[in-house]
Chain A
Amino acid sequence: MTAEFGLAALWLAAALAALQLVAGALALTERAAAMGDVVRPVAVVQGLLALLAFAALIRVFAVTDLSVKLVALNSHSMKPLIFKIAGAWGNHEGSMLLWVTIMGLAGGFVALVERRLPERTMLATLAGQAFVSLGFYAFLLIASNPFERLDPVPAEGNGLNPLLQDLGLAFHPPTLYIGYVGLSIAFGFAIGALVTREVGPAFARAMRPWVLGAWIFLTLGITAGSYWAYYELGWGGWWFWDPVENASLMPWLAATALLHSASVLASRNALRAWTVMLGVVAFSMSMIGTFLVRSGILTSVHAFAVDPERGSFILALLAINIGGALTLFGLRASTVTEGERFAVVSREGALVINNVLLSAILGIVLFGTLYPLFAEALGAKVSVGPPYFNPMTALFFVPMLVVLAAGPLLRWRRDDLGRFGKRLFLPLALVVTVALALLLIGGVGVLPFVGLAMGAGLALASFLPLRDRNLRRTPLPIWGMVTAHFGVAVALLGMASESAFSIEKLVAVHAGETTAVGPWLVRLDAVEPVAGPNWTALEAKLKVRYSDARPTTMRPQARSFWAPPQQTSESALLTRWNGQLYAVLGEEATDGRWQLRLWWKPFVTLIWLGGFLIALGGLLSMFGRIASDLRRIVARGKIAYRRERQGR
């Protein structure tokens, strides 16, 4: 029954989305303006119905109702409960349902609380949002029904890909989806503003918390995904330029640009058309990301189903949404009046250049990701990897870092280059010092060299905006900016250090033998069989010692899952303040030796610490904005109340 209930809720939600679209669009005309009253409540109920459908899916997964096809294909009664629940979105249909649920809830929330924009713009926004949702509802109901029944009922389920049976999975996809869908709200606002030609600071302020929220979740999702790949795949790398990783990076790049241009529009009333354009681009990147990951066009742990019908469906949705939005933009862009003017050397100017550089990086990643697909359509097999992505993105990332360090030190509207140069003296001196020190050490590659020097300079420069401020009275968004920019420096230092100073060792050893990797001594004590809830494994006991510190034990495993039958290698990590030791157990050689792959990665953890700092910066900024919005609303309420009393 639960499955039918969920399906019914889903159909109803889709019908309400249709109503929301029609009513919203009609209400924009003079005659049917009264229709506008239903739009907000409908949006709220639509979100709640989608949530009900999702809850029904969680329920059938939690009780392992094998008569539901999706459960039978992707779950197993012996799986731990947390992975049963996470399994609900660890597959194509469930993840799309999660997508529409988050989208519906976000739309409902906007309908409930957003009162700053003109009502017509709100109606257009909610109608635009319903249009996008409707496409996804259609996709779910027609091409990927998550509640389909199975007859006869199988005795047992297929199980979940063991690579995905990890706590990281429970939170990684929902986090990214919230990010993707948050951008759909920004997209909705952009459409609304274009339809009613109300592109101004009010639009940017309404959109900003959504962009910030989406951006925070994308940052966290990418950071978590990178760490997951690092320890779960056992390859020692933290970023592979895998199309699926790029699919999450591209919306992040667009959202970063949008965030900065929206703040220019909100506070300086400039960059109007550009901000709207970025709003469209950011969500387009989310959709392209979903298409790449979910269409089965790529092969990876993320590509759940290879089904051409679904691929074409998502592609059609993509074309309709992006094409429609770009057409609307093309028609209306000329009517968006020019904003306030500013000089090239100014905070706005720096933000424009930052936006341009981010867009360039976005373009490079997009080309590199799509090129193999186009080439394959033409019959050539091509794979694009780090030899393309690393130097090409670095080429634009390095100047962007300069702008990132310099921009916050510039004044709004216009500034003087001479005065500005003095402010940058200290960080520049630090960059030169670090560069000289690295030259003395020698043996550091070009990219890590640049990364270490720039990272050090940026770490210092990111705090300079606080220099002439009273720290207690510094607004939260400024703290947010400082934290996020510092986070970029920290992550950069981690990446550069990992690539410059990592030591790798591949050996085959007998039990009792000791091997050295960097400052570590590693002794293989024994290899023993162990068992888990749905797997058995060979586990190596490694005694490891950092120079003269106390020895510790590490236990890397080679796991065999039996539902579905598959082997994975569980790496073991040992974290110190100055880096991580990474151990992977390989095969047994014929003479009783065991293969071990060991890495010592100095300061590698800074990569993810930096990611968290960036997200924290976003959070501080969002809190600051929301707090000041609330204060403004309260103040306005008081004035209105006073007027009313005087009026009497």
Chain B
Amino acid sequence: MTGIGGGLGIKAKHQRLVLLVIALVVLIGAGLLAAWALRNQASYFYVPSEIVAKPPSPDRAVRLGGMVEKGSLHGAPDGVTIDFVVGDGKARVPVRFAGIVPSLFVEGSGVVAEGKMGADGTFIADNLLAKHDEKYVPREMQDMTTDQAKKVVAETK
């Protein structure tokens, strides 16, 4: 392998070229890979009517945002699993979550659930984002409360 490490002089120009080519290949490769992965793996935000109309495949992580329906919240006997229904006035999606719920998670308020859509139509959440206070609102929730929430209120009245 002394050829590569060998003489400088004229060959040095080639050495620079080799490094430059490596650099370009790696950087362009990274850019293309990133673009490809972002198209494939970005997780999208759904409201109930969308997720019911066109459910994402069960292995894809998505976010589901909506209102926790009044009277739908039930605790399972194990003490850590809860079931509730998220709705947007047009559709309802049952959600199951095992874990410690955020302190401001209550029936009748907005929630964003992160997780996957189960094959049986239940959304299995591994994280819940609730409205913390008026200063810290999950970004999707902000729109939720302005657009959807108004509709929800209007339609349920």
Contact = CB atoms under 8 A, between A and B. Distances in A.
Bound pair: A and B? Answer: yes
A597 B100 contact: yes
Interface string B85-118: 0000000000000111101100000000000000
B18 interface: yes
Range for the number of chain B residues in contact with chain A = 35 or more
Given A388-B38, A388-B42, A344 B15 contact: yes
A344 B20 CA distance: 10
Contact of B38 (A368, A391, A395, A416): A368
Given A587-B101, A597-B100, A566 B133 contact: yes
A115 B157 CA distance: 75
A299 B38 contact: no
Dominant SS at the A interface? Answer: mixed
Contacts of B31: 363, 367
A579 interface: no
Contact of B27 (A342, A359, A387, A597): A359
B12 to A, nearest CB: 4
Contact of B5 (A234, A300, A414): A414
Nearest to B134: A564
Nearest to A357: B26
B105 to A, nearest CB: 10
Interface string A296-340: 001111000000000000000000000000000000000000000
Contacts of A356: 22-23, 26-27
A377 interface: no
Interface stretch (A19-27, A202-210, A345-353): A345-353
B152 to A, nearest CB: 18
Contacts of B6: 343, 414
B110 to A, nearest CB: 14
Interface in A97-113: none
B27 A567 contact: no
A352 B23 contact: yes
Interface in B25-79: 26-27, 29-31, 33-35, 37-38, 41-45, 61, 63, 75, 78-79
29 contacts: A298-B139, A299-B138, A299-B139, A343-B8, A344-B5, A344-B15, A352-B19, A353-B19, A353-B22, A363-B27, A364-B34, A371-B42, A372-B42, A381-B45, A384-B38, A384-B41, A385-B43, A417-B5, A506-B98, A507-B78, A507-B79, A566-B133, A584-B100, A586-B99, A587-B100, A589-B75, A595-B79, A595-B100, A597-B100
A-B pairs, top 9 by smallest CB distance, nearest first, are A508-B79, A586-B100, A381-B45, A567-B103, A360-B30, A417-B1, A341-B12, A589-B79, A367-B34
Interface of A: 161, 234, 298-301, 341-346, 349, 352-353, 356-357, 359-361, 363-364, 367-368, 371-372, 375, 380-385, 387-388, 391-392, 395-396, 414-418, 506-509, 558, 564-567, 569, 584, 586-587, 589-591, 593, 595, 597
